[in-house]
């Protein structure tokens, strides 16, 4: 076939600060997916986008081209509205686990297509796979039945959704272009829009343990993604949330499942409960169910009932004992006073090095590995008393995990001023 454009022309347009035409965008995404545009050419274009940016129309067209590279799901046949949540990733971010059944218990279906962890941020599927029997892979028909019967599904995205993104994501990872906001936004939103949900709430993390370290960049990403969702006809809102400190008191797969179940039982750490309820309220409002208070569904046990049905529907045993690590190591407080800092990145790296995360795609993870926190910033601590417990099946990992935690803890006599969990709302 005769190609409508050539790669060098498209690269040069963006290299020189120009805006790509709709035709150029459609062609280059399709041609890259087909293998006509080579990896080195798409690498050059990705770097030009990183350096020169994209306008709203360009990003919107790029996202549409990514969606067009694969299939689109359709939930219009369900008896209830749909809403989904996406987090940009953090440490101890187990919010999807209690959130999906909670929103389902309020009458809104949650089709949550999730991923696996890479590096210091945990993956939702890895967490759930620590439950004996639970499986991540569902066919589309199976997913639709579960959404109708249970109201919530958390599963792996099929290969048919935005295949252009899968190919480009891997390329960005090895070419120093991961940070390009137009490419981050279109990567996330192409999959979420293709997924077919009616409403979408974005949890954009900000801080040391987040992908976005500063508020200005996080806000730009949130605004870009909200605009993309709006342009595609999906009701979209974003919350900017704190990730200087880990969420909750656990980082690691089975440890986080255990904590999520505590939240569903009406307990759990205050920050996890607060963020779960904040996101649930946004999802319910966007789906037209804003008159339902999700706190009531935590209190009356219906969210827990939805969790048990959701896990069982994917062959998991909600009553089975979760794996526990063969070895533990206690880290004690270095001084007496107020814990003023517990660095999210340090804790995330430690959990990763203990075996909770992976360095390369496809690597296996330890279900029981991770970090348990006995105090959070603002709490009083005493020198020599337990501050963290490290969990792993392979004790030779303790040394590198302890090295990751060096400099990540501050104890002082000064008063502690807490950062709010929800910093701002965009949308």
Other beta carbons within 10 angstroms of residue 1's beta carbon come to 5
Identify the helix (H) or strand (E) that includes residue 105.
helix 96-105
Q: First vs last Cα of the chain: how many Å apart?
A: 43
Q: What is the largest CA-CA distance in the chain?
A: 73
Catalytically active residues, by annotation: 86, 165, 172, 187, 191
Q: Where are the alpha helices (DSSP H) in 53-95?
A: 56-68
Residue 218 near residue 242, CB atoms below 8 Å: no
Q: What is the pLDDT along the chain (427 residues), one digit of tens a residue?
A: 788 899 999 999 999 999 999 999 999 999 999 999 999 999 999 999 999 999 999 999 999 999 999 999 999 999 999 999 999 989 999 999 999 999 999 999 999 988 877 667 778 999 999 999 999 999 989 999 999 999 999 998 877 888 999 899 888 878 889 889 999 999 999 999 999 999 999 999 999 999 899 999 999 999 999 999 999 999 999 999 999 999 999 999 999 999 999 999 999 999 999 999 999 999 999 999 999 999 999 999 999 999 999 999 999 999 999 999 999 999 999 999 999 999 999 999 999 999 998 777 677 899 999 999 999 999 999 999 999 999 999 999 999 999 999 999 999 998 889 899 999 999 9
CA angle 145, 114, 356 (to 5 degrees): 130
Structure tokens at 77: 């046949």
**Cβ-proximal residues to 283 (8 Å cutoff; 6+ apart), any chain:** 83, 84, 85, 99, 103, 108, 110, 199, 201
Q: How far apart are CA 246 and CA 337, in angstroms?
A: 20
Q: Name all domains of the chain by residue range, CATH numbers in brackets.
A: 7-53 (1.20.970.10), 83-313 (3.40.1030.10), 327-412 (3.90.1170.30)
Residue 212 near residue 218, CB atoms below 8 Å: yes
Which pLDDT belongs to residue 118? 66
């Amino acid at each position: 076939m005769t190609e409508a454009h050539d790669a060098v022309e498209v690269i040069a347009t963006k290299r020189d600060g120009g805006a790509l035409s709709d035709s150029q965008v459609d062609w280059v995404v399709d041609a890259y997916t087909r293998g006509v545009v080579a990896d080195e050419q798409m690498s050059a274009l990705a770097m030009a986008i990183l350096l020169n940016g994209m306008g709203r129309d360009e990003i919107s067209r790029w996202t549409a081209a990514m969606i067009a590279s694969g299939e689109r799901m359709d939930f219009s046949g369900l008896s209830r509205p749909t809403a989904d949540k996406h987090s940009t990733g953090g440490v101890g971010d187990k919010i999807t686990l209690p959130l999906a059944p909670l929103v389902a218990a309020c009458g809104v279906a949650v089709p949550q297509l999730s991923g696996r962890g890479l590096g210091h941020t945990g993956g939702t599927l890895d967490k759930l796979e620590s439950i004996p029997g639970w499986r991540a892979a569902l066919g589309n028909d199976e997913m639709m039945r579960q959404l109708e019967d249970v109201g919530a599904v958390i599963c792996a995205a099929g290969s048919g959704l935005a295949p252009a993104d899968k190919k480009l994501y891997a390329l960005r990872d090895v070419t120093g272009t991961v940070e390009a906001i137009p490419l981050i936004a279109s990567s996330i939103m192409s999959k979420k829009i293709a997924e077919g949900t009616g409403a979408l709430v974005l949890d954009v993390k900000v801080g040391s343990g987040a992908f976005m370290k500063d508020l200005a960049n996080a806000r730009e990403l949130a605004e870009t993604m909200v605009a993309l969702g709006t342009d595609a006809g999906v009701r979209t809102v974003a919350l900017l949330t704190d990730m200087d400190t880990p969420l909750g008191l656990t980082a690691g797969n089975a440890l986080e499942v255990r904590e999520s179940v505590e939240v569903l039982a009406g307990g759990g750490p205050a920050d996890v409960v607060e963020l779960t309820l904040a996101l649930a309220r946004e999802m319910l409002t966007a789906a037209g169910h804003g008159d339902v208070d999700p706190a009531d569904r935590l209190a009356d046990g219906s969210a827990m009932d939805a969790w048990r049905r959701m896990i069982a529907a994917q062959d998991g045993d909600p009553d089975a004992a979760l794996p526990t690590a063969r070895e533990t190591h206690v880290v004690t407080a270095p001084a007496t006073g107020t814990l003023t800092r517990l660095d999210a990145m340090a804790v995330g790296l430690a959990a990763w090095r203990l075996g909770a995360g992976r360095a390369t795609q496809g690597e296996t993870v330890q279900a029981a590995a991770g970090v348990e926190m006995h105090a959070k910033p603002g709490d009083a601590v005493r020198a020599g008393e337990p501050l963290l417990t490290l969990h792993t099946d392979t004790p030779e990992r303790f040394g590198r995990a302890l090295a990751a935690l060096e400099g990540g803890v501050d104890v002082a006599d000064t008063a502690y001023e807490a950062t709010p969990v929800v910093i701002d709302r965009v949308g």
